[in-house]
Structure 1
């Protein structure tokens, strides 16, 4: 359900719409996505949303991960003596080379903000996203992307704690398995924000 939304104070945040996930050759798509139909449905919904946002002049943010300038993963100590994603990313060799690229229609256009400096699961962690939003007086975020139960959930939680109103656009997100996605919807979202869907969001943008 959408509350009273101010276009000028809202941003659509596309989380990791990059080849690691979107390409059939992407390491993450090949290794972790089990429910491909749900995943592909989320990509298609994201495509419809970004096209509507561009047509109607809404703020688009590309919040990915790009470690091409850190080929040895020094940020994460090369994966040594660290837990979680800090160890998994170097072991998998992700987020560099072609895996970082964004295919159409998710390739950034001029006037769309590309987040830099991110160092954690949340796209707000040590990144340029928060100053961009505050300088634009934006306080409402629509979160989309991958994976629902990892980086999208982390971003939702941090956005809440930083004072933003955040919506999970549930059918423009996907997890490795449907059960993970549904767990976030049922047990997590209402603590940190609210939920909407692509059709509702597009109707608001085009209304």
Structure 2
């Protein structure tokens, strides 16, 4: 048994109804072969395909049970001045994103992928500027508090960057956070496994899409 398979998972009996599914960057930048620049940087295509199918299953389960679905895109102004903040963007993604020209408002890449477009009643986070879904002037925390959500189920891209960053900050803000690992993808399997083996258990727990659905069945029944 590997360290990954030994990671803690969430049992169906532990579910609480004050949960939300948080979908991070289900945008064409990741999921569109024609317009997605990041799509072509994913080395493990099976990992990405698994994440898309897992996320679709988790999304269907959440909608079936009336569990809040919160969409977290990244949308920046031309030149990404939001990332400069009060200091110049010199290193890391703050410097790389403006150079790459990704995530720019009005570009095809920032549009939601067709299968993950928000329903009319599903909140879309605004003001995010950074790796974490809580970064910048993001209104994610306000949305969660308004909906009385305490348990977050995280899905999205990339596992080792934005999902991990959100997991860490959710923990520090007092949320109970779970990573739906088969609804997330990194660029490589090694990156994905590192997060699962060495990161998640410090800040929350991992589960999978099937267990997430079973969790909702046990806690809420069929609506």
Q: TM-score range by the shorter chain?
A: over 0.9
Three-state SS of the structure 2 residue aligned to 1:43 is helix
Following superposition of structure 1 onto structure 2, how do residues 144-183 of structure 1 map, counting pairs within 5 Å?
A: 144-183=155-194
* Number of residue-to-residue matches in the alignment: 203
Residue in 2 aligned with 1:122?
132
1:131 aligns with 2:142: yes
Following superposition of structure 1 onto structure 2, how do residues 15-30 of structure 1 map, counting pairs within 5 Å?
A: 15-25=24-34, 26-30=36-40
**Larger relative CO (CA 8 A, sep 6+): 1 or 2?**
2
Residue in 2 aligned with 1:112?
122
1:202 aligns with 2:213: yes
Q: TM-score, normalised by structure 2?
A: 0.87
Q: TM-score, normalised by structure 1?
A: 0.93
156-165 or 50-59, which deviates more: 50-59
Runs of 4+ aligned residues of structure 1 deviating over 6 Å after TM superposition are: none
2:43 touches 2:188 (CA, 8 Å); kept in 1? yes
1:62 aligns with 2:46: no
Give the Cα separation in 2 of the matches to 1:107 and 1:24: 17
Q: Which runs of 5+ in 2 are unaligned?
A: 1-8, 219-223
Q: Which runs of 5+ in 1 are unaligned?
A: none
140-149 or 101-110, which deviates more: 101-110
Give the Cα separation in 2 of the matches to 1:129 and 1:57: 19
